[in-house]
């Protein structure tokens, strides 16, 4: 069985492409549209990697990331932050709260896939 990828983003159009691409690469994919759904999905679905959008309603990607890092059982989960916020301070904060990579939108899907691949040690 392939590795599990959780896509947490509230923009349906990007989710469609990401979901399609990840499935094509043989990953098991789950989608969450809000921070809270994503947090539940982390517990239930047990992803190996999260593609995490920063700007989501109610709970931001930063907060979600911090919550995941607070739980010792979830330390192995890789987190790639996807964000339309591209200022230095935002990247700085994303990395500080525990993201493994910070990707600014728009991104190359090839590079994103390569990064996912690399992080999952494949």
What is the contact surface with another protein in residues (CB under 8 A)? 11, 13-14, 16-18, 20-21, 24, 55, 62-63, 66-67, 70, 82, 84-90, 92-93, 96-97, 104-110
The secondary structure element, H or E, covering residue 12 is helix 12-24
Site of tokens 């492409």? 17
The secondary structure element, H or E, covering residue 5 is strand 4-8
Minimal distance in Å, beta carbon 32 to another protein? 17
For another protein, which is the closer residue by CB, 84 or 118? 84
For another protein, which is the closer residue by CB, 28 or 69? 69
**Cis ω before 106 (30° cut-off from 0):** yes
Cα three-residue angle 11-35-65, rounded to 5 degrees: 110
For another protein, which is the closer residue by CB, 63 or 100? 63
Supply 27's token pair: 């990953």
Minimal distance in Å, beta carbon 70 to another protein? 7
For another protein, which is the closer residue by CB, 96 or 118? 96
Cα three-residue angle 47-80-46, rounded to 5 degrees: 10
Minimal distance in Å, beta carbon 66 to another protein? 5
Minimal distance in Å, beta carbon 86 to another protein? 7
**DSSP bridge pairs for 4:** 28
């Amino acid at each position: 069985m392939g590795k599990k990828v959780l896509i947490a983003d509230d923009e349906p159009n990007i989710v469609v492409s990401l979901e399609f691409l990840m499935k094509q690469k043989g990953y098991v994919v789950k989608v969450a549209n809000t921070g809270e759904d994503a947090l539940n999905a982390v517990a239930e679905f047990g992803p190996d990697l999260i593609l995490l959008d920063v700007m989501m309603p109610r709970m931001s990607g930063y907060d979600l990331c911090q919550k995941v890092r607070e739980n010792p059982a979830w330390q192995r989960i890789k987190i790639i932050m996807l964000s339309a916020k591209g200022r230095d301070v935002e990247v700085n904060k994303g990395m500080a709260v525990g993201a493994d990579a910070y990707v600014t939108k728009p991104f190359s899907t090839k590079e994103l896939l390569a990064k996912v691949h690399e992080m999952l040690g494949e």
